[in-house]
Amino acid sequence: MIDYKSFMGHARRRGVRLRGIGMLGARLRGTLMSGALLFSLTVHAQSSYPDPFECYRSFTREPEMARIFSQELGVKTRCFFASNTINSRGGAYCQYPPIWVGEGKYEFEHLDEQMEEMNASNPDGKLICMIDLDSPYWMTRRFKFDSFSDVSTAVSNPTWMKMMLRWMKDFITYAEAHHGDRIGAYVLSGGCTSEWYDAVGGYPTRSKENAWLGWCRDRGLDHGDAVPSFPSLNQASFDGHLYDPVTESAKIDYWRFHNEVIADAILTFAREARSLLPEGKKIGVFFGYHFNLPHETLAYGHLEYERVYASPDIDFFIAPGSYFNRGIGGGSGSQAMFRTAMLNGKQFLHEIDFTPHDYPTRKAGWKTEEDDIAGNTREACYALIHHISSWWFDMWGGFYDNPRLRERIGQMETIQKRFRSDRSPSVAEILLVGDPKSMYFIRNGDPLVRLGAEPVRNQLSMTGAPYDCCSFSDLERMDLSRYKVILLPQLFFIDGPRAKILREKVCRDGRTLLFAYAPGICDGKTLDPERVRTWTGVPFVSGRPDMTETVMDGWTAVYSYRTEAFTTETLRDICRRAGVLFYVEDCIPVFANERLLSIHCKEGGRRTVTLPKKASQVIDLLSGEVVAKRKKSFQVDFASPDTRLFEIIP
């Protein structure tokens, strides 16, 4: 065991210069700079998007599978978790003993052992180290809460934050002094499942109450001396769904505080970590899940993702594929609004954590070996076409034991490397817009949220046409000229500046806009149902059963009180009338940019594929076969199930 005093002396002897008192302000210099292993996350000359990289990760040791991914499949980046805590299944996140065993007390020899294994299985690759920023067991007893489930309480507690920051800084300083030549990036991991979401429904605690009162004072808000009662947070006065800013402003502000305090903590950890790292070292975070846990959108604490994505101290973000549309034949998609991150110049990693059909201890969503191959191929194609990276997550080990599946992963990695610097733009004519700011006005757990962005995205993914997603705040800096249909199912909040963006950039050029429930009902200060008519052309009627379509001034408004009216078939009909091109006539997923096209299906058969323009050649990248020459449409035979990937040569 290394105590704090001996650790400080050891760091100095290793040439790590420490500036200021204790670990605060420590910065690595000298030989660590020349030996640092730098990531290829630099900005490509032709685009603001960083170059992608691929990664392999497992909670278990898996040295042989790590070697296979690195040496045989070409996935040179390995992620490992230096964890002190247990996971959601009750087992250890890390198969090595905990490092942090008491305040200022560390057993760093366990990190050394872990690094020895990493070096042996991936000798010429890059390493990403996940730093555990959750409370170890001894710390949960001291504070009487567990940051794993209640991260909002933890980060609201100044003493907890001080201890966690000290641990993080001490860990980084030791890791850089001893293993800085091997570690290229760090992932800051905290909260439930290390993904920074809160799992207690936003329940107020003493720490949160104290932090809330300070938050209110700083903003000149007077909401009394206590947090709004927990039962009242799940109640809303307007139509049973929306908080009224006049009478329920404390609830709206509480949820803002709840989300901001988590974002603030992430930004604090990132800023302090950055101060310790030499130039070129990268920092990543799991965050920004706009399409996850829709019934707890307010409570799980990711609504401030736009601010976190803009941080100069964070280089990349990670999120798993959809939990609700990952079955064979489904359209998958990221849980995060990754385009917002990429517009800020960040890299994004698409975590592929899908259980194979024959996994022994966990129920599999896929039923056959062919499902495993088609499903994993779909996920890799999704990442490739959207210019993000595949993060292969061998969660509990054994996910990639099948040689046929590994062969396909190797194929996809070869293709990924070939197209690494390609930045072919999207060809989608459909755009789904999410709006985290509107979410503060709808009560937590509301059924309209459960029927919001995630289900609409799932239906949209099956239309046979590609689509894009973005946040409302992205609209100002995006070229919207190619979009014929724009979906805004969450846009309850429209103030003056937002109305200006809509009128000048969105509501024009003959577009069709889809709205749900009560678009624009709130201007941030009051609720007025009459405002809904401005955007829908019809009055707001609670429970309105019909879907309306109204020709406006240069655009068309389609409106439904409930989003379940936006089925795949309904969306296809709306999009067809708006002039959207369907690559196939089936209700199946399609991903496409100007250079690449992927089609996934559950049921096989011959299909006609239609392109936006004639191609000189269409090449099946997985078989090498030229499937069409000088054609705008062609026919392809699909297996059951199947995922095909085509290169479109103009």
> With 60 as the cut, is the pLDDT of residue 440 above it?
yes
Name the band, by pLDDT with cuts 50, 70 and 90, for residue 45: very low
Same domain membership, residue 136 and residue 100: yes
For residue 174, give the CATH number of its domain. 3.20.20.80
> With 50 as the cut, is the pLDDT of residue 228 above it?
yes
Same domain membership, residue 167 and residue 35: yes
Same domain membership, residue 307 and residue 160: yes
Q: How many Å apart are CA 37 and CA 140, to the nearest integer?
A: 35
pTM exceeds 0.85 for this model: yes
> With 50 as the cut, is the pLDDT of residue 22 above it?
no
Q: How many Å apart are CA 201 and CA 193, to the nearest integer?
A: 15
* 459, 566 contact by CB (below 8 A): yes
CA 300 to chain centre: 14
Name the band, by pLDDT with cuts 50, 70 and 90, for residue 451: low
Same domain membership, residue 147 and residue 75: yes
> With 60 as the cut, is the pLDDT of residue 336 above it?
yes
pLDDT tens across 401-413, in order? 999 999 999 999 9
Q: How many Å apart are CA 478 and CA 511, to the nearest integer?
A: 16
Same domain membership, residue 462 and residue 385: no
pLDDT tens across 168-184, in order? 999 999 999 999 999 99
Same domain membership, residue 145 and residue 24: yes
pLDDT at 137: 92
DSSP-derived secondary structure for 477-521 = GS--TT-SEEEETT--B--HHHHHHIIIIIS-TT-EEEEES-TT-
Last residue of a domain, one of 377, 393, 418: 418
Same domain membership, residue 370 and residue 508: no
Answer yes or no: is 53 within a domain. yes
Residues 6+ apart with CB under 8 A from 312: none
Number of helical (H) and strand (E) elements in the chain, helices listed first: 20, 22
Answer yes or no: is 423 within a domain. no
Do the strands 605-620 and 468-471 form a parallel or antiparallel pair, or are they unpaired? unpaired
> With 70 as the cut, is the pLDDT of residue 483 above it?
yes
Answer yes or no: is 594 within a domain. no
pLDDT at 90: 78
Answer yes or no: is 132 within a domain. yes
Same domain membership, residue 231 and residue 356: yes
Last residue of a domain, one of 418, 446, 462: 418
Last residue of a domain, one of 542, 577, 612: 577
pLDDT at 572: 98
Answer yes or no: is 145 within a domain. yes
Answer yes or no: is 586 within a domain. no
Cis peptide before 641 (omega within 30 of 0): yes
Segments forming the whole domain that contains residue 254: 2-418
> With 90 as the cut, is the pLDDT of residue 14 above it?
no
Same domain membership, residue 447 and residue 352: no
Answer yes or no: is 588 within a domain. no
> With 80 as the cut, is the pLDDT of residue 18 above it?
no
> With 90 as the cut, is the pLDDT of residue 26 above it?
no
Same domain membership, residue 439 and residue 391: no
Same domain membership, residue 554 and residue 622: no
Task: Return the higher-pLDDT residue of 548 and 48.
Answer: 548
Answer yes or no: is 592 within a domain. no
Number of domains in the chain: 3
Mean pLDDT of the chain: 90
For residue 450, give the CATH number of its domain. 3.40.50.880
Same domain membership, residue 339 and residue 479: no
- Please give the structure tokens belonging to residue 210: 């104290």
> With 60 as the cut, is the pLDDT of residue 561 above it?
yes
